[in-house]
Chain A
């Protein structure tokens, strides 16, 4: 998810949104310090993973926030709670919005349009 996240960040920049992409290469143990620092500095947080949403990487971030009593919305992108039949990997990814256009759209929807220029976002992405 890092390469599509980087592509999405480029597009978001054209829309005046600064997105920082974090390569979360360790799912466990989670790099807690880094994520907490990020969320202090940047108002919006989106997690990305090519794994089911339930119990996945985004859940790990939610658990961290819960544990630290941090009141912050985590926008999670990943695979929803249903089975997916055969199709090309690209088709499957786009069904889950896990392609650059989907990520841009998701961020736009979650953050509300039009963007405030001063509203950066961090895309914390599980690699793959």
Chain B
């Protein structure tokens, strides 16, 4: 740990030679792997974003310049570089570091995040405030391709393209949400990735940059040139350009030197319009078990560093509520063709992945889009389809208005299954599912149930589909209490 040891703030990082930055990254990765092996955590995303974070902190001047991390689960390297490396092993532990950026944890955490797709809006707010105060500081937001499946991101892009302030949006594209990212936008983004073109753009950039550094002139014009030369190659660029952004990339998000060049350019260009820098990263980068299984590496339990395998847990005495829900849903759907399953990018967390194995054509992963999921379900329900929306309690908060305006007001039988209700534990304040009873009770036409054990849960799943009105079942994370499970599902009298 020869480099990281001496880095107590981003200022210290700036003293390091550019060529040594990959070594810094390597040390940060080891620290992240160690912390996650002890406490669990968001390993894959954080390893993938490490090189990008090193490059950003190397160039920009936090905390005067501002960085915002969409979702924020990928920002462990940011914590490591901003004075918290020695506490990284307390991540998600009681009284330890939060697993997400948090304003009262550090002056380097510009904005608290955790629920996806808030980054661009928040950054635009910060940037606009800077302009109102006559300040030119840079504001950078890093958003994942998963975060771009949430509609809020586009509301931010829409206003940013209009305001024309020189916000820097970095698209950290690893092709993954928690699972494989799905949707038209994702396909659009991946079109660029033909490796041949990608290699060509990298080479071109390298050549241009070498010319620049020989002459020692500011890098502004060449970036302009690169942009023009690459623009035609990548369809995703056209999309962002038409929204009023300058599009740069895609760049290799593990090539720190290139990223440093790009960001240096942007840093000194005060008059530019908003810019979108597209970088390609690999989830789990630098740790073979995580690279090989990016889905499992998203959120890990404590594991053995040698093998990457989870440490043996106490064997569960009862099935998880998630699993009981999924099995009951499958049973109901076998008997009722009109039942479909909907997830907002959380298929494994909600058990919809199990439903999908049985009924691939009746399963919809709508992206990180709970609001859309709810209105989509309402539309389905008008045609007699019975949608099961399996959404974590905390994320359904996003859908408050559609639940009232689209579902309940029209008394449409949309059936919500709220996993992770109650305290969730290590993800903390942003994730506790402790508001649902209050925010749903006040809505007319809703039926709200909560099972006392896993057997009651399976009956509530069946009960839900028998109601000709909206229903909600809330159940906690973790395993059931170990009661006998009835063979046949029954309908509970309401």
Contact with B along A37-69 (1 / 0, CB 8 A): 000000000000111101111011000000000
Given contacts A52-B437, A85-B98, 15 further A-B contacts (CB under 8 A): A3-B452, A25-B451, A26-B448, A28-B440, A28-B441, A28-B446, A28-B447, A50-B421, A50-B434, A56-B441, A79-B434, A83-B429, A86-B98, A87-B425, A128-B474
Show 27 residue pairs from A and B whose CB-CB distance is below 8 angstroms, ordered by the A residue. A3-B481, A25-B460, A27-B448, A28-B440, A28-B441, A28-B448, A29-B447, A49-B437, A50-B434, A50-B476, A51-B434, A52-B437, A55-B437, A55-B439, A56-B437, A83-B429, A86-B93, A86-B94, A86-B426, A86-B429, A89-B423, A89-B477, A89-B478, A126-B450, A128-B421, A128-B422, A128-B475
What residues of B have a CB within 8 angstroms of the CB of A3 in the complex? 452, 481
Chain B binding site: helix, strand, loop or mixed by DSSP? loop
- B423 engages A84 (CB within 8 Å): yes
A residues adjacent to B (C-beta < 8 A):
2-3, 23, 25-29, 49-52, 54-57, 59-60, 79, 83-89, 91-93, 126-128
What residues of B have a CB within 8 angstroms of the CB of A79 in the complex? 434
- A55 engages B441 (CB within 8 Å): yes
Q: Is B492 an interface residue (CB 8 A)?
A: yes
- A88 engages B447 (CB within 8 Å): no
How far apart are B421's CB and chain A's nearest CB, in angstroms? 6
B93 to chain A: closest residue by CB:
A86
- A57 engages B437 (CB within 8 Å): yes
B443 to chain A: closest residue by CB:
A28
Q: Of A2, A89, A126, which is within 8 A of B437 by CB?
A: A126
Q: Of B96, B425, B448, B477, which is within 8 A of A92 by CB?
A: B425
What residues of B have a CB within 8 angstroms of the CB of A126 in the complex? 437, 450
Q: Of B92, B447, B448, which is within 8 A of A86 by CB?
A: B92
Contact (A91, B438) CB under 8 Å given A25-B452, A29-B494: no
How far apart are B316's CB and chain A's nearest CB, in angstroms? 15
Among B429, B432, B439, B440, find the residue whose CB has the most chain A CB atoms closer than 10 A: B432
B residues adjacent to A (C-beta < 8 A):
92-96, 98-99, 421-429, 432, 434-442, 446-453, 456, 460, 474-478, 481, 492, 494
What residues of A have a CB within 8 angstroms of the CB of B475 in the complex? 128
Contact (A26, B436) CB under 8 Å given A86-B92, A128-B474: no
Q: Of B426, B442, B453, which is within 8 A of A55 by CB?
A: B442
A26, B441: Cα distance in complex, Å: 11
What residues of B have a CB within 8 angstroms of the CB of A50 in the complex? 421-423, 434, 476
- A128 engages B476 (CB within 8 Å): yes
How far apart are B412's CB and chain A's nearest CB, in angstroms? 17
- A86 engages B452 (CB within 8 Å): no
What residues of A have a CB within 8 angstroms of the CB of B449 in the complex? 25-27
How far apart are A128's CB and chain B's nearest CB, in angstroms? 5
Contact (A86, B428) CB under 8 Å given A3-B481, A25-B452, A28-B447: yes
A87, B99: Cα distance in complex, Å: 11
What residues of A have a CB within 8 angstroms of the CB of B92 in the complex? 86
A29, B449: Cα distance in complex, Å: 9
- B435 engages A52 (CB within 8 Å): yes
How far apart are A80's CB and chain B's nearest CB, in angstroms? 11
- B423 engages A2 (CB within 8 Å): no
A79, B210: Cα distance in complex, Å: 60
What residues of B have a CB within 8 angstroms of the CB of A60 in the complex? 441
What residues of B have a CB within 8 angstroms of the CB of A128 in the complex? 421-422, 450, 452, 474-476
Q: Of A23, A52, A84, A88, which is within 8 A of B438 by CB?
A: A52
Among B422, B426, B440, B456, find the residue whose CB has the most chain A CB atoms closer than 10 A: B422
How far apart are A97's CB and chain B's nearest CB, in angstroms? 13
A91, B448: Cα distance in complex, Å: 27
A14, B450: Cα distance in complex, Å: 29
How far apart are A23's CB and chain B's nearest CB, in angstroms? 5
What residues of A have a CB within 8 angstroms of the CB of B99 in the complex? 86
- B425 engages A51 (CB within 8 Å): no
- B429 engages A89 (CB within 8 Å): no
A81, B66: Cα distance in complex, Å: 31
A25, B99: Cα distance in complex, Å: 33
B429 to chain A: closest residue by CB:
A83
- A27 engages B441 (CB within 8 Å): yes
A94, B452: Cα distance in complex, Å: 19
B492 to chain A: closest residue by CB:
A25
